[in-house]
Every structure is written in structure tokens, then in C-alpha cells.
Structure 1
Amino acid sequence: MEIGENLVLREKQKRKFLEICEDSRSLLQELNQDLLERVLSWLPTSTFLRLTSVCKKWKSVADSATFRLACSQVPFRDPCFFMVDSDPHLSQHPVVFDSAEKKWKKLNPLPLVHPKKNQETCSNSIPVAASGGLICFHSTNGDFTVSNPVTGSTRLLPALNSISQQPILSISMAANSERFKLVLILDQLPNLSFKMYNSYTDLWEEEISLNQKINNSAEAEKNDYHSQYFLTSGNVVSADMQRSPFRQYSAALTVENGDEILYFLSSSGTVVSCNLTHKLFFEYPRLLPVFSEFSIDIVECGGQMYVVLLSEFFESASLRVWKWDENMHAWQQIAAMPPASSHKFYGKKVDINCSGAGDEMLVCLYSAEVCSYVMCNLVRNEWIELPHYHTEDDKARDFVCAFSFEPRIEADI
């Protein structure tokens, strides 16, 4: 009897829900096109894409230029994180983590077109930068492709033959609803230069040299003293810095006091700041002694640059987030993973790779022995480990890093 009553109750609830949905849809249908587009523009992108199958009127909204304009006026979308597989053969089946719905989702394959093989997918491209609703891919032959992962639209950038002999140290990107730009840091320290692509003109601008900014000796001594204070004792093991080839060009691009600043990691693990406005660069003091075992990454969150560092000492692992304090001329710790969570990474030679959005960042911790994904809220110092992604045949896919983007159907390339 109880089972029958539950079935009847569920049926009534389902009927009531469908009635509410029908009433809501009828009310929305009565709205004029302009007002309807404004209402729908505030829906999460994934929700709207599902709702386009509701009726022909809603489906027509997706292709409307005025609807895309309404979407561009929404100031912030909950980010998605485009995941990069440890197995490059799986890159043709992209996966994202949707922070709004706290779910893993599959994307349609992105049509990255090879210039010499028109309409063919370029399988040797890897993501190197992201901003707004766009992701930039770089191929082994030097081509750059920018794609909107939501709509699948793709743009191949002009070739860069003029700098083919110069090594690229970092790649960063800045995008809004109308245009985007790509910034490359070239050559080697201390002979740095940068080159910028502007989507508005569809051209690479002239290469510009960067001059080194040097602190006075008193400040340098002060920096050296403060930068190593939490590792003043204990045995430290010498090792090379851990870096994933998928994040070898990682950078953080910010605007500070009207100046455009690009941060990247040198080959030795120091943070380098490039003021693109004043054409200067500065190498920050180290967080740890030169001979120490650690993995490090930089990340932009809320317009600020942070350093995330995994260190090992006293037979334990510590994952901490640092920010440069201009007043004290020293690195200041602002967040730390609880020791009970970070200790499991001790001795695992873990490579950390971070991607930020707003107050949150996703940290991917990957090695041959362990694979973990942790979401950190920098304001609350809250750390949450995400579940692993499993395929339909219940096989886990391991991701080495992620790129944050806002799911925007109006992102223009």
C-alpha cells in the first residue's frame, strides 16, 4: 500500500511540475522579442543551450544578433574549466568542469583547422591560453588557433615566420565580447621582448624589446631575507622544478594602476613581471632556496597574480598560495591547503597546474602516482577536492591541467 501511495504522490508532483513549466513557458511566450532575449540572456549558458529545444521561437533567439548583444552585457558567467588529458589521443573528446552546476561535461570536438589541409582537424594542437569565452591553441608547427568551445567557431591566426628562430617563453590572452589579443614573451632572460596579435586588425604588431628594472641593493637584501623565512631549517632535497609540457607557456595577464602586466615563470622557477605599458621587466626574489624540491605555478584570480607552490620539508608536503606585497617588498602567504590534505603528495613528485576565475582557482596535481583536482576559494581559504571524471565504460580520465573560460555564446573571434 505504501509503495502505491508513493507512486501516486510522485505522479501528482510530476503533473504539478509540468503545469508550472507550461504556465512559465506561456508567460515567456507572451513577452516581446526584446524582453524575452534579455530574460534568457541571464540564464547560464548550458541551461539556455538545452532550452533552445523548447520551441522554434526560443531556438531563433540563439542566432539573434540582439540576443548576443544582451548576453555581452551580462558582467560575469560562472566559469568552466577546459581539462587537458595526460593522454593526448583523448584530446579529441574534450571535457570541462562546470563550476555553476558542479559537474563534468563533454564538449563537441573543436574543429582546429590546419592551414595546409583545409577542413581537417589538427590533432597536434594543445591549449596554451584562455580568456573570456575563448581558448587559444598552439600546434607543433607554430600555428595559433583561437576557438570558442561553446559554439565551436574557430579562427586561424596569421603565421609567425618572423620569430621562428626565437624561443617563446610565455603566451597570454585577453578577450572581451568584441575582440581579443595574444601576447608572446620571446627570447631568453635578460634579453626579453614581446609581440602582440590584435584580432581587430588581424595582424601581429611589431616586436618590442623590454628593459630590465633593477632594485637597489638594500631592497634586494631585504627581499632575500623575507623570501625564505619558512624554510630556515631542516634538510632540503635538491631536484629540478616540476613543469608540465602542457603548461610550459603559462602566464598571468593583469591590469594594475592602468598598466598592463604579464607574469610568467622563468626556466629556474622565478617569477618575472613584464610591464607591457612601460616596456620593463623585473625578476622577483625566490620563494624558496635555489636547491629545493618543489613545483610552482602562477595564476590570475580577480585581477591579481598569485604564486601557488608545493614544497617538501620535514617529511611532509605543503601547498601554499602567495601574493607579492609591494609595501613590504616580500611574498606574503594568503592561503594554504590543510596539512591533512597536502601530506598525501609527499614524495610523489607532483606537478601542480592552476587556473583561476574570480575568487576561485582549480589546482590540478598530477604525477605517475597520483592525480587530484582541488577547487580553492582564496577569500575563504576553502579547499574542496573534486570527484574524478569517468567515461561511459567507467574508466577514469586523468587530467594534467585546466584552462578557465567563461561559457559565452557571444564571444566573437
Structure 2
Amino acid sequence: MAAAVASSGGRKRKCEELSAPELGQLHEDPWFLMLSDQQEEEEPRPPCPAVAFDAAEKTWAQCRAAPGPVPVAAAGGLVLYRAPETGALTVANPLSGVSRALPPPPPAATDALYAVAMYGSPYRVVLILGELPHLSMAVFDSSKNAWEDAVPLSRKTEASPADTRAPHDDDDIDEDMDGDGDGAVYYLSKSGDVMVSSTQRSASRQYSSAVTCRSDGGEAVAYFLSHSGAVVACDLARRVFAELPRILPVHFEYSIDVVACGGRAYVVVLSEYLDTASLRLWEFSDGAWRHVAAMPPAMSHALYGKKADVNCVGHGGRVMVCVSSGDASANGCFMCDVGSNAWEELPRCAGGDGEAMDFVAAFSFEPRMEAAV
């Protein structure tokens, strides 16, 4: 890690010599705050430097000590942490180490937490509450240092499009995809047995979402997974949501996550078929899922039979895919350039004991010392 720290310091010296436009270009290359399987356990532990991947230098670097056990969202140069015991929220700049505790949400926001979104500058934190189809949201506006009152969310109607970043006809949305609830989906196997399908989220991504915004910061749409694995698109301005059609049949076993990059939302799916594994990126457009990128077969085949899980995050034109499995040989992190469909595996990061660290998830942020909490 000493080399990574030195690299980080060199980056800071270069920043001091750059003009404002050049600094803006430098910020286009994100850092990815990495989460290990030990961090997922959410057990109390002394503060320690966090590990980040510098996408520009393609090296590992250290961040300041995390103010909370597990991050739940990120926007710009900031990361949002949530205390699982109390639900208290803290915003931090991982580069400078500066942090602040957010005031508690309004008393009316008492429903169970479903998803967390963070976007914009000044930033906003959005809590999606309740259970499908009865959802509400509470918004914290950092420019006002206050929470807005919790408001109910409505299912998408023909007159109120919910997913501006994934344009399609309103009639193409199956609003009853999961019935009137959001629990498990039941189906019959070929043998006639009643089977149940539900999504198991890792602790690090339990409340995660992906947010797309217009270039001016408006028209924010949050995408997250339902408990049964359907993708939900929530228009935060119009306060409406819709459930998108499934990519694969409900009886398939696969790993899925949703990401946002380049102002668009994508779904990453790891599945197995005909004695091999495939990892693909899909975009919902014109009423149907469209395949946009795929890991080379030689790389994805190594995941076959490993019962691997994928947790993903996007930034700019990149998507990072963290693969974790009970089989250590399948663990790894990969970077995809969506436009060119170029894939590369990240170098392994050595921990304090010299052993390679396994990462299960990541959050992207812009490495900006000046980002204010």
C-alpha cells in the first residue's frame, strides 16, 4: 500500500499545478471505494484506511478512515454511510476525511427502508420507504440542510412517464409484474412442485440504487431492484414508479444488479446456459431489453458453476463488476468500457498481511478534495 499512497500524493501535487478546466477533466476519472467481505459483516471495528481503485492511474490507493461500517450511496465527490443499528446517516469526503452527520429524517418517515439514492450538487439524499406497491420517499436537501416531508409514490400512469433515461411507450410497462406485493414469486417446476423465487441482496448492496440525471442535474430517476428481482424505475421529480419487464424468466437462477453511467441505466446479469456462463449488460429501450455489452466468453466461462454473485457500479462510460463466490478462484473485479465493450480484470490488491483482498462491491466517487459535505 505504500506505493499506492505515494501515487496518491503525486496526484495531489499535479492537481496544484492544473487550471480549473484541467481539474474538471481530471475529475472525469473516478475512484472506486472498495468493500471487502469483512466489511460486509458490519461488525464494530477500529477505523482503518479504506481502499480505492484509481481509474486514471489504474492503481490502488488509500482513503481516509470511514465514518461508518458500510456505505450505501455516493454522488460527486461524496459517500453516504448508514449505521445499521440506528439508521443514522453520515456524509463524508473519502479523500479529505471530512464528514458530517445528517439530521434525522422526519418523524412521518417511519416505514421500512427500501432503497437509498444520492445525486446532484448540492447533493440530495432520497430514502425510498415501504413495500411495493405502497412506497413513499423522504428527501434531504443539503442546500437547505433539512428534510422535506415524506410523500407517497404512485405507480406509473400513462400520463406520467417514470423513466426518462430509458425511453419507451407507456403501454410497454407491465405494472402488475409482481402483483400487489413485493414478496417472493411462486411458480411450478416441470415436476409440478411449487417453487419460490426471491432476490438475496448482499449487505453492502441491500439498499443500493442507481441514479440517472440530465446534464443540468434535473430529471433524476432512481433504479433499484425489488425483493423479487424486478427492476424498479422511480421518477423522483414526478413521484411515480414503474416495474420493468424481467430480462430472464422467473425460474432462472442468475445474479443481477443495476448501474448508471453516461446518463443511462443498465442491468448487469450473470447467468449460466449450455454449460457456460455469460455476463451481459442490458438497457431498456423502446419497450424491450437491448443487449449492449458482454464479457468475452473466455473470461465469463471461468465463472461457470461457481454460484458467483455480481455487485456493480458505474461512472462516466465505465462499469465495474465485483464478482464474489465461495470458490476463491472466481473472485475478482472487472472494468468494462460500455461504448467499446472492452473488458479488463483489475490487478489484485494486497492487504496488510500481504494476502490478496477479495472485494464484494464498490461505490464510485470523484476524487475531489474540495467537495463539501
TM-score between the two structures when normalised by the length of structure 1: 0.73
Shift of 1:313: 1.6
Q: How many residues are paired up? A: 330
Q: 1:166 aligns with which of 111, 136, 146?
A: 111
Match of 2:58 among 102, 114, 134: 102
What are the Cα deviations for residues 340-365 of structure 1, in whole angstroms up to 9, with x where unaligned? 11111122221111111111111000
Pair 1:397-2:321 in alignment: no
Partner of 1:93: 49
Equivalent residue of 1:292, what SS?
coil
- Alpha-carbon deviation of 1:316? 1.6
Cα distance, 1:172 vs structure 2: 1.1
Shift of 1:91: 7.0
Stretches of 4+ aligned residues off by more than 3 angstroms: 44-48, 69-73, 214-221, 237-242
Q: Partners in 2 of 1:330 and 1:214 — Cα distance? A: 18
1:356-371 correspondence to structure 2 within 5 Å: 356-369=314-327, 370-371=330-331
Q: 1:156 Cα deviation (Å)? A: 0.3
| CA distance in structure 1 between the partners assigned to 2:170 and 2:34 by the alignment | 43
- 2:26 matches 1:49: no
Please give the secondary structure, in 2, of the residue aligned with 1:107.
strand
* Deviation, structure 1 residue 169: 1.2
Mapped contact 1:242–1:294 kept (Cα < 8 A) = no
Is the contact between residue 261 and residue 317 of structure 2 (CA under 8 Å) also seen in structure 1?
A: yes
Separation in structure 2 between the aligned mates of residue 323 and residue 90 of structure 1, nearest angstrom: 41
Equivalence for 1:343: 301
1:95/1:220 CA distance change after superposition, 3 Å: closer
Report the alpha carbon displacement of residue 289 of structure 1 after superposing the two structures with TM.
0.6
- Residues 163 and 313 (structure 1), Cα distance of their counterparts in 2 relative to 1, 3 Å cut: farther
**Cα 1:382–1:48 shift into 2, 3 Å:** closer
Q: Matched residues in 1 for 2:173 and 2:319: separation?
A: 31
| 1: CA distance, partners of 2:212 / 2:303 | 31
Deviations 1:101-120 (A, max 9, x none): 1001122313x2xxxxxxxx
The aligned counterpart of 2:99 is 154
1:315 & 1:238 partners in 2: Cα distance?
24
Q: CA deviation at 1:72?
A: 10
Instruction: Flag the structure with higher helix content.
Output: 1
1:178-257 mapped onto 2 (5 Å cutoff): 179-213=122-156, 219=172, 240-255=198-213
User: What's the counterpart of residue 279 of structure 2?
Assistant: 319
Alignment of 1:109-124 (within 5 A): 109-110=65-66, 112=67
Amino acid at match of 1:74: G
What residue identity is the alignment partner of 2:143? Y
**Separation (CA, whole Å) in 2 of partners of 1:289 and 1:90:** 44
State the percentage of identical aligned residues.
Answer: 40
Q: Which of 70, 78, 81 is equivalent to 1:134?
A: 78
Contact 2:106 2:147 in 1 (8 A): no
Paired residues of 1:266 and 1:272 also in contact (CA < 8 A): yes
**Cross-structure match for 1:74:** 24
Structure 1 alignment gaps of length 5 or more: 1-43, 53-57, 62-66, 113-121, 225-233
> Residue 309 of structure 2 contacts residue 325 of structure 2 at CA under 8 Å; is this kept in 1?
yes
* Cα distance per residue 1:107-153 (max 9 Å; x no partner): 2313x2xxxxxxxxx5xx31000111000000011100000011110
Distance 1:354 1:136, change over 3 A: same
TM-score in terms of structure 2 length? 0.81
Distance 1:212 1:97 in 2: 38
Answer with 344-353 or 87-96: which moved more.
87-96
Unaligned runs of 5+ in 2: 1-6, 40-44, 159-168, 178-189
Corresponding letter in the other structure for 1:207:
A
